[in-house]
């Protein structure tokens, strides 16, 4: 990652101006600047390796920019014995960072779709959540991106996504309200038009009171 490259907008991302990508050395120097800004000494023993560690952590936190979510779902299976009932993956661990403060939001996602001849490996659904979560996000956009990608690639009869997450930007700073979580949902196709189907999804995902 030391070479200067041009960033390309990932799939389902807004169009943005191409600009040279900073080098790893520049990224580490930016961390040193922030450490000094806090009032600490970036050259003291405990902080000497911090710029390198932070950059490596960022590579992991934001690896979703390097993956194409559409390509992830393109390998599907049609030998389903005409299965046409709900497919639900619940309690998918979700770790992301809010784009306003770059502070973690942690929770879980429940994902469902109603197949129309094609299904996808369930690990791909969990990976899709990770691809979008491992980018700078707001929860509303994250929820929509997961649902819209499943809808556009698999072309099912319906898609439902619910995300329930705690935002450390409001639990560890600002209003300091621990124990609060935010719930967002996106319903497409038959999930949008059928209350019965939504209730079935909520029950299968363990959200009976939703």
- Is 151 noted as a catalytic residue in this protein? no
Give the CATH number, domain containing residue 40.
1.10.286.10
Within a domain: 108: yes
191 and 99: one domain? yes
User: pTM of the full predicted structure?
Assistant: 0.87
Based on the fold, state whether residues 82 and 149 are members of the same structural domain. yes
Q: For 43-95, give the DSSP string.
A: TSGGGTTHHHHHHHHHHHHTGGGGS-HHHHH---B--STT--S-EEEEEEEEE
Q: Is 169 a catalytic residue?
A: yes
Q: Is the same domain home to 118 and 169?
A: yes
Instruction: Count the domains in the chain.
Output: 2
Flag whether 69 is in a domain: no
Strand partners, 188: 159
Confirm whether 110 is a catalytic residue: no
**Residues of each annotated binding site for Zn(2+):** 98, 101, 169
99 is a catalytic site residue: yes
Is 100 in the same domain as 9?
A: no
Tens of pLDDT along 120-179? 999 999 999 999 999 999 999 999 999 999 999 999 999 999 999 999 888 888 888 888
Q: What is the pLDDT along the chain (210 residues), one digit of tens a residue?
A: 444 333 444 445 555 667 888 999 999 999 999 999 999 999 999 999 999 999 999 999 999 999 999 999 998 887 777 788 999 999 999 999 999 999 999 999 999 999 998 899 999 999 999 999 999 999 999 999 999 999 999 999 999 999 999 998 888 888 888 889 999 999 999 999 999 999 999 999 998 656
Q: Which domain holds residue 133?
A: 77-204
Q: Are residues 15 and 117 in the same domain?
A: no
Binding-site members are 98, 101, 169
């Amino acid at each position: 990652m030391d070479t200067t490259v041009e960033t390309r907008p990932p799939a389902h991302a807004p169009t943005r101006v191409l600009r040279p990508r900073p080098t790893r050395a520049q990224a580490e120097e930016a961390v040193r600047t922030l450490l000094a800004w806090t009032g600490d000494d970036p050259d003291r023993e405990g902080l000497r390796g911090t710029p390198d560690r932070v950059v490596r952590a960022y590579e992991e936190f934001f690896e979703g920019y390097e993956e194409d979510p559409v390509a992830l779902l393109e390998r599907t299976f049609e030998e389903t014995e005409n299965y046409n009932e709900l497919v639900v993956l619940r309690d998918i661990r979700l770790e992301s960072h809010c784009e306003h403060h770059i502070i973690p939001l942690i929770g879980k996602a429940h994902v469902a779709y109603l197949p129309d001849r094609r299904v996808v490996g369930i690990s791909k659904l969990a990976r899709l959540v990770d691809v979008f979560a491992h980018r700078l996000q707001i929860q509303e956009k994250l929820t929509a991106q997961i649902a819209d990608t499943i809808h556009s690639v698999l072309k099912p009869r319906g898609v439902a996504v619910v995300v329930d997450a705690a935002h450390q930007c409001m639990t560890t700073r600002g209003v300091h309200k621990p124990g609060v979580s935010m719930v967002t949902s996106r319903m497409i196709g038959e999930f949008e038009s059928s209350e019965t189907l939504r209730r079935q999804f909520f029950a299968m995902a363990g959200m009976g009171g939703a």
